[in-house]
Amino acid sequence: MAKAILVGQFLRARAWWRLDSAGNNALHVARSVVSLLDAAAYLRDVPDDHPDLLTLDAAGCFQGGVFDPGPEGAVIIRDWQLADEQSAGPAELLSALARAADRTRPGGPLTQPPAAVAVPSQGWPAAQTLAAQA
């Protein structure tokens, strides 16, 4: 099954959960539900070779034919658009899930910070003295 469809199914299920477990502010809950359903609809047109889906796949989020966003991703989905105003769209939700999965994937993130660059010795007396002491 297409990975985008699996993410969409998960988001629809979370939207229904959010609707059933409404909080104190009905407007915030409604915004969250509509935003999750909007993201699920958006995913129908996202190809499986989309970079965010590839990141989610590399992080192991598609095991056993279901989507599991991991603990950080679950919090992102749970809290999605519960603020006073909408702050992001479906593409940003997918990107946020991919970043969270990448940070928490077994073996560490795929996107590592750049390696430190070694600065060659300039032949200064202090550098030669430090090298001799080592």
In the chain, where the domains are located: 3-104
Residue 84 DSSP class? S
Residue 6 and residue 12: Cα distance in Å, rounded? 10
Mean pLDDT of 17-40: 87
Work out the pLDDT band at 121, boundaries 50, 70, 90: very low
Query: How far does CA 124 lie from the centroid of its chain?
Result: 47
Look up the pTM and report it: 0.75
Six token digits for residue 88 = 């992001």
Residue with tokens 């390696």: 115
Provide the pLDDT for residue 27. Answer: 84
Cα–Cα distance for residue pair 131/134, rounded to 1 Å: 5
The per-residue pLDDT for 45 is 93
User: How confident is the model over 74-100, as pLDDT tens digits?
Assistant: 999 998 988 777 778 999 999 999 999
Residue 122 gets the label, from left (phi > 0), alpha (psi -120 to 50) or beta, of: alpha
